Structure 1
Amino acid sequence: MGMQINTNIAANNSYRNLSNTQNDLSKSLEKLSSGLRINRAADDAAGLAISEGLRSQVGGLTVASRNAQDGISLIQTAEGSLTEVHSILQRMRDLAVQAGSDSNNVKSREAITTEAKALNDELTRISETSNFNGIQLLDGSQSSLKFQVGADGSASSQIAVDLSGANVKSIATTLANGTTAATGSEFTIAAVGAIGGPATFTSTTAAGVQTSVTTGAGFPAAATFTSVDGYADALRADANFSSAFTVSVTKDANGAGNGIIVSAKDGGVVSSATPPAGLAVGTVGAGVTGGVKFDTATNAQAAITLIDAQITKVSTARSDLGASQNRFESTIKSLSVSKENLSAAESRIRDTDMAEEMVKYTRANVLSQAGTAMLAQANQSNQGVLQLLR
């Protein structure tokens, strides 16, 4: 090999290897200092794409979990107010039971009415002031609220909370102005000896709420009964009918039954598109309006029935809210598990194995020092030319 000074091949080779080692050393330092195996797309293009997708899911699940917590807070706010609504309605029912006794004089009934009105006013106030983050919960303005509890845009990522049954304002209005009773609809004998058979009865309240009931399977067929008394007893024994209606028998001047009067437990006006066989629709009972009244024992009894209906509504609404709260709690647990597993998956792809990377760093560091020494030696290798020039 000749002796050249313009081109030092050994030095160039040492420099190239040293540059590669310095590049590896720089990458190791970057990974060790950031804790990430992938700092740029060039480090692992496919891994970057996958890890970014996982990172989006983890972030979405984190926010979804907070949304579910907000849902629980909203439900607790609404349910807390409904707890007091229940207490108020129970107190109003106690007053109605108290007013159902004629041992009360006029002043006593006036005192009962005054307290009941104050309680109903409080129901209205509760409906107008129960809100969460400015959202009214109990005034009927919100029938349903949706909560995003998933990381994607599918329908299954949302949970709807039904607030339609928690309309306290409607309850207060019903107790103040609604129909508390109806005189009942009369069904008179049209064909003696043909009485019986299934029938359908419909109740319509002053608020327009309809309840339709058909007598249950196995109800005695037509011509089973020769009098309305037996048919009335059969209606009372029928679970479908007795769940929403009551029946009484009308008598003629001789004390014989000449018809039945069907009344709705919700105070609505009764009609029948399919009346019992052998009976014809007579007088349709009119509703008694003006809300709960305690001025007579009869009105107090009607008030009990109406208040019971409102208590049932609140109980149903609270049950629905409780079920939704339990669902949110289960959702949060599920989100936590999913978030943990997805975070682990992203970590395996994107995070640096510090022990392994430290091994690479140590190797590159040693090679860097060796390369620097060899580059110095290579730069000195052409010094022998000077001996020829002396």
Structure 2
Amino acid sequence: MSLVVNHNMMAMNTARNLNSHYNRLSTSTRRLSSGLRIGTAADDAAGLAIRELMRSDISTLHQGVRNANDAISLIQTADGALQTIDEKLIRMKELAEQASTGTYDSVQRAMIDSEYQAMASEITRISMATDFNNIKLLDGTLSDDTHDGSGLNSVGKLKIHFGTGNDSDEDYYYIKIGCTTASALGLGNNAGEASKTNGGFSISTQEMAQLTLDAITRAIVSKDNIRAHLGAMQNRLEATISNLSIQAENVQASESRISDVDVATEMTEFVRNQVLSNSAVSMLSQANQLPQMALQLIG
């Protein structure tokens, strides 16, 4: 290489190397400070795309767990009300048994029937009043087999969504709760004409009281079927929550392997680039002094 003063090629070459080392040092500093191997699309475009999809799935799975927990709370609310209804049905059967015997006259049976009708009215009140987040649970609102979520308010059976997609086999299922008003159970003086024949309408006569014993048994079985369904759904939701938590954990681990920086490896790279940068700075200082040799010849 000729000794010249117009272009200092050694300094230019050293400056280029210094810039390269400094850029890599900057990248290592960013990765170590953020903990992420992929900070920008330039680091790994394909890895970035996979990571963002995984992050969206992780957030969705966590929300799915919260959705399932909310559904469990709803079920427990309904089950608590049904437990109270169960107590009323037991009392009604006790009253029917009392009215079935021949040791009471019509006036006394009328008094017994008065309490019986009051219990029926209370069952209806509980069924109409029980709600969760303004969703009626026991009045028949959730008893329809068809679900329709196209409107502002969904109708029909309750859809519990917890998965990351919209596949019926993987991402959601339904909770159906039958109507538990006294008339729906076939009890009380609002139960309809069939209850007059089959029992449940009243216990004001000995014959109707005896028929009512069977009617209340049918009502208890109907109510217990609803509670059994709710209990099964609660167990299923608890298993779903466990599965979703494991799934979110595994996806998080996969996202970490793609996205997170290996601190040991990156620290080694950081020290290497730091040494090279310091070396390049020293050499650039030396290269900038080389044209002085040409000036000595001129002088």
TM-score by length of 2: 0.90
Alignment of 1:1-390 (within 5 A): 1-143=1-143, 144-156=157-169, 157-164=171-178, 166-168=179-181, 170-171=183-184, 174-178=187-191, 206=194, 288=197, 291-390=200-299
SS at match of 1:375: helix
Shift in Å, 1:295: 2.2
Amino acid at match of 1:382: P
| Aligned partner letter, 2:175 | V
Match of 1:227 in 2: none
Distance change >3 Å, CA 169–CA 120, structure 1 → 2 = closer
Decide whether the 8 Å contact of 1:179 with 1:290 is kept in 2.
Answer: no
Query: Does the aligned pair in 2 maintain the 1:179–1:291 contact within 8 Å?
Result: no
Q: CA deviation at 1:175?
A: 2.6
User: What secondary structure, in the 3-state scheme, does the structure 2 residue paired with 1:146 have?
Assistant: strand
Task: State the alpha-carbon separation in 2 of the partners of residues 332 and 27 from structure 1.
Answer: 40
Equivalent pair of 1:178/1:290 in contact (CA under 8 Å): no
The answer to whether the 8 A contact 1:100-1:298 is kept is yes
Find the aligned partners of 2:237 and 2:182 in 1 and give their Cα distance. 27
Question: Within 2, Cα distance between the matches of 1:323 and 1:384?
Answer: 92
Aligned residue pairs total: 285
Secondary structure at 2:42 match in 1: helix
Answer with 327-336 or 2-11: which moved more. Answer: 2-11
Which residue type is aligned with residue 57 of structure 1?
D
Distance 1:65 1:5 in 2: 72
Q: Deviations over 1:147-176 (max 9, x none)?
A: 102111111211101112x43354366432
The secondary structure found in structure 1 opposite 2:189 is helix
* 2:48 alignment partner AA: L
Aligned-partner Cα distance in 2 for 1:93–1:314: 14
- Distance of 1:360 and 1:335 partners within structure 2: 38
In structure 1, distance between residues paired with 2:203 and 2:183: 21
Once the two structures are TM-superposed, the CA of residue 315 in structure 1 deviates from its matched residue by 0.4
C-alpha distance in structure 1 between counterparts of 2:173 and 2:118, whole Å: 37
1:30-65 deviation line (CA, Å, top 9, x unaligned): 111111101111111121122222112111111111
CA–CA distance in structure 1, aligned partners of residues 276 and 5 of structure 2? 26
Matching residue's letter, 2:173: I
Identity among equivalent pairs (%): 42
Encode CA deviations 1:218-240: one digit per residue, 9 max, x unaligned: xxxxxxxxxxxxxxxxxxxxxxx
Deviation of the 1:178 alpha carbon:
2.9
Task: Classify the secondary structure of the residue corresponding to 1:76.
Answer: helix
CA distance, structure 2, for counterparts of residue 371 and residue 341 of structure 1: 45
Q: Verify the 8 A CA contact 1:146 1:158 in the aligned structure 2.
A: yes
CA-CA distance at 1:77 after TM superposition: 0.6
Q: The residue matched to 2:174 in structure 1 has which SS?
A: strand
- The 1-side partners of 2:212 and 2:260 are apart by 70
Q: Aligned in 2, Cα 1:175/1:117: closer, same or farther, shift over 3 Å?
A: closer
- Which one-letter code corresponds to 1:301 in the other structure? Q
Q: Which amino acid aligns with 1:354?
A: V
Q: Larger Cα Rg: Structure 1 or Structure 2?
A: 1
CA distance in 1, matches of 2:183, 2:75: 19
Letter in structure 1 aligned against 2:177: L
Q: After TM superposition, give the deviation of residue 105 of structure 1 in Å.
A: 2.7
Q: What is the rounded CA distance, in whole Å, between the counterparts of 1:379 and 1:320 in structure 2?
A: 85
Bigger strand fraction? 1
Return the alpha-carbon distance in structure 1 between the equivalents of residues 98 and 125 of structure 2: 25
Aligned partner of 2:153 in structure 1 is none
Aligned mates of 2:124, 2:203 — CA distance in 1? 20
* Counterpart contact for 2:86–2:220, Cα < 8 Å: yes
After TM superposition, give the deviation of residue 16 of structure 1 in Å. 0.6
Distance 1:110 1:363 in 2: 98
Q: Structure 2, unaligned stretches of length 5 or more?
A: 144-156
CA contact (8 A) 2:38 2:44 kept: yes
Distance 1:64 1:346 in 2: 19
Displacement of 1:316: 0.3
Considering only aligned residues, what root-mean-square deviation do their CA atoms show, in Å? 1.8
Secondary structure at the counterpart of residue 147 of structure 1: strand
Question: Helix, strand or coil for the counterpart of 2:175?
Answer: strand
- TM-score, normalised to structure 1, is 0.70
Matched with 1:189 is: none
